[in-house]
């Protein structure tokens, strides 16, 4: 990042982190919803947020900016 300016990588990283937080909030809210209608609405919003996060992840991965480690036996504990 240059002084006071965000590059595309920084923007996508911020957006992905925000999306993860929003998805977590919707998830918790859906679990704690008092009525089926509210729960259903929150579950739909959660699903939409997951799609958005996937798109951000894919854009970053395609550019080589996000490289998760493979989930092989040593990483599964």
Q: Where are the domains of the chain?
A: 10-62
CA separation, residue 48 to residues 9, 13, 35, 41, 54 (Å):
23, 19, 20, 11, 10
**How many Å apart are CA 58 and CA 4, to the nearest integer?**
26
The model's pTM: 0.81
Beta-carbon contacts of residue 57 (< 8 Å; ≥ 6 apart): 16, 66
Residue-wise pLDDT tens digits, 40-75: 999 999 999 999 999 999 999 999 999 988 877 776
% residues pLDDT > 90 (the chain): 79
Which residues is 2 bridged to in the sheet? 5
**How many Å apart are CA 7 and CA 35, to the nearest integer?**
43
């Amino acid at each position: 990042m240059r002084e006071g300016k965000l590059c595309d990588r920084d923007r996508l990283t911020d957006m992905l982190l925000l999306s993860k937080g929003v998805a977590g909030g919707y998830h918790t809210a859906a679990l704690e919803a008092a009525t089926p209608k509210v729960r259903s609405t929150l579950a739909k919003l959660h699903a939409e947020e997951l799609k958005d996060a996937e798109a951000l992840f894919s854009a970053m991965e395609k550019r080589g900016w996000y490289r998760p480690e493979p989930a092989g036996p040593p990483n599964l504990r």
